[in-house]
């Protein structure tokens, strides 16, 4: 099989679950030359080299991006503004800059604040794939296979830069789609951020009940499936939820409406409403996952 080096030098700033999985996938596909990692935790970066995820590392973002053809920011969204500030004057003229943040409006606002105007070669991105684990140890090359990656190019994004980021993600086995920035944040508030809020609050509610030991002793498959994502990094999810709070609060209100209606139906013994709510949900989910 012939392969083409799409990215002679890749800089990954924030080599964790997502940055590490991307580096692994691109190496496996043999489409990348050298991978330079950058972060704040030297032990983690050394581990990344030992695992073969990156070829070398530096703790200086400016040095990491020097000569890089593609720069991927894989830090928590709250760190992106500082990273943009540190690399701003050191990007090669031909370098394409992208990120993997779970919310996009905040990242674009940060880029605009740092760069003045949005750079032509900046293409915001979001792989809609992950796990509840964090760190380079949890990264794996197959993470993005048959998953979606959303690109949210801004009006100034150069078509050629968008093509390069698309080609990078396609090489990982992902399907790439484009979306408006606000639309992305509304959709992900509903499909990703709300479920995380629900999982965290359900577990938190049960954990604060007096008989919690008894409750958790009898928690079985349903509880495990529903709450897996409440094991995700609380600091990362605090950042995501606050960054996308406008869209998230709207969809939480919508959800509270549905939950309140169900609660009232249960209280008055309204079989029909309870059944119809569950039936509609089963129908929607079964259709969604029928492939």
Ligand X SMILES: O=C(O)C(=O)C[C@]1(C(=O)O)C=C[C@@H](O)C=C1
C-alpha distances in Å from residue 139, one per residue of 36, 133, 146: 16, 9, 17
Element (DSSP H or E) covering residue 43: helix 42-50
How far apart, in Å, do the first and last CA atoms of the chain sit?
29
Burial of 42 (0-12, 13-18, 19+ CB in 10 A): exposed
Q: Which stretch binds ligand X (CB under 6 A): 1-9, 127-135, 137-145, 256-264?
A: 127-135
Q: Tell me how far apart the alpha carbons of residues 90 and 13 are, in angstroms, rounded to a whole number.
A: 14
- The one of ligand X, ligand NAD, none whose footprint includes residue 12, by CB under 5 to 8 A per kind, is none
Question: From residue 113 to residue 152, what is the string marking binding to ligand NAD with x (rule CB under 6 A)?
Answer: --------------x--xx--xx-----------------
- The one of ligand NAD, ligand X, none whose footprint includes residue 229, by CB under 5 to 8 A per kind, is ligand X
Residue from 10, 76, 96, 171 binding ligand NAD (CB under 6 A): 76
Q: Which stretch binds ligand NAD (CB under 6 A): 14-22, 146-154, 160-168, 263-271?
A: 14-22
Residues 216 to 275 in contact with ligand NAD, rule: CB under 6 A: 233, 236, 240
- The one of ligand NAD, ligand X, none whose footprint includes residue 72, by CB under 5 to 8 A per kind, is none
What is the Cβ-side half-sphere exposure of residue 23, based on CA atoms within 13 angstroms? 35
Q: Tell me how far apart the alpha carbons of residues 216 and 220 are, in angstroms, rounded to a whole number.
A: 8
Q: Is 142 in the site for ligand X (CB under 6 A)?
A: no
Q: Is 79 in the site for ligand NAD (CB under 6 A)?
A: yes
- We find the least distance from the C-beta atom of residue 52 to ligand X, in angstroms, to be 24
Q: Tell me how far apart the alpha carbons of residues 203 and 198 are, in angstroms, rounded to a whole number.
A: 9
Residue from 30, 41, 44, 131 binding ligand X (CB under 6 A): 131
Q: Are strands 70-73 and 56-58 parallel, antiparallel or unpaired?
A: unpaired
Residues 186 to 205 in contact with ligand NAD, rule: CB under 6 A: none
Neighbours of 119 (CB within 10 A): 22
* Interacting residues with ligand NAD (CB under 6 A): 13-19, 39-41, 44, 74-77, 79, 82-83, 100-102, 127, 130-131, 134-135, 233, 236, 240
């Amino acid at each position: 099989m012939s392969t083409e080096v799409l990215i002679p030098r890749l800089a990954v700033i924030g080599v964790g679950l997502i940055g590490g999985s991307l580096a692994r996938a691109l190496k496996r596909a043999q489409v990348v030359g050298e991978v330079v990692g950058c972060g704040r935790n030297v032990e983690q970066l050394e581990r990344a080299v030992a695992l073969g995820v990156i070829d070398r590392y530096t703790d200086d973002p400016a040095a990491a991006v020097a000569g890089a053809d593609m720069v991927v920011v894989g830090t928590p969204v709250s760190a992106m503004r500082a990273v943009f500030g540190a690399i701003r004057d050191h990007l090669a003229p031909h370098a394409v800059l992208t990120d993997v943040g779970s919310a996009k409006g905040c990242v674009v606002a940060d880029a605009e604040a740092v760069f003045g105007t949005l750079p032509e070669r900046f293409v915001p991105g979001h792989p809609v794939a992950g796990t509840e684990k964090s760190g380079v140890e949890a990264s794996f090359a197959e993470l993005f296979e048959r998953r979606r990656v959303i690109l949210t190019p801004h009006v100034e994004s150069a078509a050629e830069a968008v093509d390069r980021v698309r080609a990078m993600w396609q090489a990982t086995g992902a399907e790439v789609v484009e979306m408006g920035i606000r639309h992305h944040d509304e959709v992900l508030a509903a499909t990703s951020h709300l479920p995380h809020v629900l999982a965290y609050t359900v577990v938190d509610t049960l954990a604060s009940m007096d008989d919690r030991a008894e409750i958790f002793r009898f928690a079985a498959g349903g509880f495990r499936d529903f709450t897996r994502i409440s094991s995700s990094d609380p600091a990362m999810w605090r950042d995501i939820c606050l960054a996308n709070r406008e869209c998230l609060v709207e969809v939480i209100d919508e959800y509270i409406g549905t939950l309140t209606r169900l609660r009232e139906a249960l209280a008055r013994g309204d079989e029909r409403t309870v059944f119809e709510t569950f039936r509609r949900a089963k129908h929607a989910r079964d259709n969604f996952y029928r492939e």
